[in-house]
Amino acid sequence: MATLLVKTASGERLVRLGRRLTSVGRDPGNDVVVADPALPATALHIHFDGRDYNAACHEGAEMTVNGRRRTTARLGDGDRIRIGGTDLQLSLVEPPAARAVPPDPSVEAMRSLVRLSERLLGNSDAARLPAALLDAVMDVTRAEKGFLILLEDGELQIRAARNLAQEDLADAAARVSDSIIQKVVRTRRPVIVADALHDREWSGSDSVVNLKLCSVMCAPLLERGEVFGVLYLGNDSVVNLFEEKDLEALTVFAAQASLLMQNALLLDGLRRENVALREAAQERRAGELLSAGESMREVFRRIEKVAGTDVSVLVSGETGTGKELVAREIHRRSPRAAGPFVAVNCGAIPEALLESELFGHVRGAFTGAVATRPGKFQAASGGTLFLDEVGDMPLLLQVKLLRALADRAVTRVGDTQPEPVDIRVVAASNRVLEDEIARGAFREDLYYRLNVVSIRLPPLRERGDDVIALARFFLQQYAREYGSRARGFAPGAVLAMRRYAWPGNVRELENRVKKAVVLAEKALIAAGDLDLAPDLLAPVLPLQEAKDAFQRRYINEVLARNGGNRTRTAKDLGVDPRTIFRHLEAERRGDGEDGGPGDKERP
């Protein structure tokens, strides 16, 4: 039968060509596996057509036959193929020497090591690889115990300790000689100790004497010349067990082991980093308000200031600006973070049910009240109660809410006994509560109780480049979630997003980006994908009109911050109080309504 002599840097071996088609390459799936990094996964095929052997090299590989470059070749006896760093020689007659001469044990050991390395190549699990490596090397040496030790933060850590039965060794640290390991680490060279107890160099070492060591072999694991660990093999019952050639084999194996370990450690690090990044992204999504610019600076400052206290906070801002997210962030950073965060949308619950929803009810309090039930106040005990759309709460309930907040106690519907509750309240409204007070639709005393500190969220259109930063964040998140090919925004889309007024604020941005990402057919999302047609874009105003609009908004905002106090607002803005008065007059004429926070002068 024809044979192929495979010669690589690490040795030679003979392979019988028993199949019609024999594949050769680095991949473990080949018939002839060669651990040559210069080879592609499959480098060539040798085809036996019943009479001749024909070699065909694969794309990406370069083959020479008897020194001449070829892609295919009919092979004759003794022909030499070179591919990558590997030589292959075909023999059509089995060499008699192969049968006559007994195999050289060191070559055999080397071959076993190569085979083992090939087998271990697929093992990239940094936790399990050390034990597998030791089992493999102990298989081909006569060691009865093996240790794989890594240098971690300057300390030597035993990552695996095995016996011949492929079991973990207990009390591993007490079974190795520190002096031998230290020498290998220091000199970066392997060490063989034939009879440790009688060796002049080692017989004085405490660890050697205490452990009654006989034969030890230890080789460094190197990465770019630096030691990152050692392979340590020992036998405590036989002296002169290891010979120089065993050390050679161990050195070769240690070089392979170094590569495999580095590879596995690198992969392990990348895996862990990947998990950490994913978790960070999730956490950010769930808990953090994103902002790249200045516009939210005041919001963040206030969140930080109030989070540690128990004061009530009123969050205002248009729909979709992130009011609930702010409430959650305050809770998350507060001493109540381990307690519940309970949100109630006061505008979404029918008036008749809201009281029982908030304060709970006793059995039989009304038709359908078949059992006594706690309300959201009780559920939030020890945590934070978020009252969303508080401006939609009916006046009668506002009185009860005020009492509950003042007394820190609630009375269930149908009950007479108040029960204490320990909660912190964060309220939100997208109505301007000062206007509601002026209309007589919101109680002023409740407003002051809720608004100990106010946080106003600017609409998205006033947040400058936040719109782009948020859009990119949502794009990345949804592209990952939906496996979309979208990778970024086309310049037209960026322009359109900057110009659009975003009446639905961050929620609208998130929804538009999500839809575009899901439907994306190209890597770059265009303005049309976001449904931002030119007629949706805010018109460009003459400069004076834009200035007037900004001034109006700004004065309203400062008035709101000052609870409608005109004198304080004028002082803050550095203008005459008459300017504020004229502004309010103009506003009143503009919307045709009477009243407003400016009507009541507060101290």
Ligand X SMILES: Nc1ncnc2c1ncn2[C@@H]1O[C@H](COP(=O)(O)OP(=O)(O)OP(=O)(O)O)[C@@H](O)[C@H]1O
What residues form DSSP beta bridges with 332? none
C-beta of 390: minimal distance to ligand X in Å? Answer: 11
305: alpha, beta or left? (left if phi > 0; alpha if psi -120 to 50): alpha
Q: Which of these, 186, 9, 142, lies nearest to 82 by C-alpha position?
A: 9
C-beta of 459: minimal distance to ligand X in Å? Answer: 10
Which DSSP helix (H) or strand (E) runs through 91? Answer: strand 86-91
Return the percent helix, strand and coil in the chain, to nearest 5.
45, 20, 35
DSSP 103: P
**Which residues make Cβ contacts (< 8 Å) with residue 39, sequence separation at least 6?**
25, 26, 61, 83, 84, 85, 86
Nearer to ligand X, 289 or 495 (CB): 289
Alpha-carbon distance 253 to 88, whole Å? 23
- Token pair for residue 326? 């702010």
C-beta of 343: minimal distance to ligand X in Å? Answer: 9
C-beta of 430: minimal distance to ligand X in Å? Answer: 5
Nearer to ligand X, 235 or 477 (CB): 477
Nearer to ligand X, 15 or 289 (CB): 289
C-beta of 384: minimal distance to ligand X in Å? Answer: 14
Nearer to ligand X, 321 or 454 (CB): 321
Beta strands in 122-187 (DSSP E): 145-152, 155-163
- Token pair for residue 161? 């300790």
C-beta of 358: minimal distance to ligand X in Å? Answer: 18
Measure the N-to-C terminal CA separation of the chain; round to a whole number of Å: 108
C-beta of 27: minimal distance to ligand X in Å? Answer: 46
Alpha-carbon distance 245 to 233, whole Å? 15
Give the other-Cβ count within 10 Å of 380's Cβ: 24
Nearer to ligand X, 357 or 389 (CB): 389
The SS3 call for residue 11 is strand
Taking CA atoms, 189 is separated from 33, 48, 58, 180, 558, in Å, by 30, 47, 40, 11, 75
C-beta of 392: minimal distance to ligand X in Å? Answer: 11
Q: Which of these, 378, 397, 286, lies nearest to 331 by C-alpha position?
A: 286
Nearer to ligand X, 2 or 326 (CB): 326
Alpha-carbon distance 54 to 48, whole Å? 6
C-beta of 355: minimal distance to ligand X in Å? Answer: 21
Nearer to ligand X, 322 or 564 (CB): 322
Q: Which of these, 117, 99, 104, 55, lies nearest to 80 by C-alpha position?
A: 55
Nearer to ligand X, 30 or 477 (CB): 477
Nearer to ligand X, 229 or 320 (CB): 320
Look-up: residue for tokens 């075909």?
A: 90
C-beta of 509: minimal distance to ligand X in Å? Answer: 8
Nearer to ligand X, 430 or 565 (CB): 430
Q: Among all residues, whose Cβ is closest to ligand X?
A: 322
The SS3 call for residue 415 is coil
C-beta of 502: minimal distance to ligand X in Å? Answer: 11
Alpha-carbon distance 530 to 84, whole Å? 52
C-beta of 558: minimal distance to ligand X in Å? Answer: 21
What residues form DSSP beta bridges with 285? none
Nearer to ligand X, 317 or 598 (CB): 317
C-beta of 501: minimal distance to ligand X in Å? Answer: 16
Nearer to ligand X, 380 or 506 (CB): 506
- Token pair for residue 528? 């049309």
Taking CA atoms, 525 is separated from 531, 536, 537, in Å, by 11, 17, 17
Nearer to ligand X, 13 or 323 (CB): 323
Where b means 16+ CB within 10 Å and e means fewer, 424-462 reads bbbbbbbbbbbbbbbeebbbbebbebbbebbbbbbbbbe
Look-up: residue for tokens 């160099």?
A: 201
Nearer to ligand X, 334 or 429 (CB): 429
C-beta of 328: minimal distance to ligand X in Å? Answer: 8
Nearer to ligand X, 177 or 321 (CB): 321
207: alpha, beta or left? (left if phi > 0; alpha if psi -120 to 50): alpha
Do residues 452 and 313 make contact, with C-beta atoms less than 8 angstroms apart?
yes
Alpha-carbon distance 577 to 568, whole Å? 9
Do residues 306 and 356 make contact, with C-beta atoms less than 8 angstroms apart?
no
Site residues for ligand X per CB under 6 A = 289-291, 317, 319-325, 388, 430, 470, 506-507, 510
C-beta of 483: minimal distance to ligand X in Å? Answer: 21
How many residues are recorded in the chain? 603
Do residues 142 and 132 make contact, with C-beta atoms less than 8 angstroms apart?
no
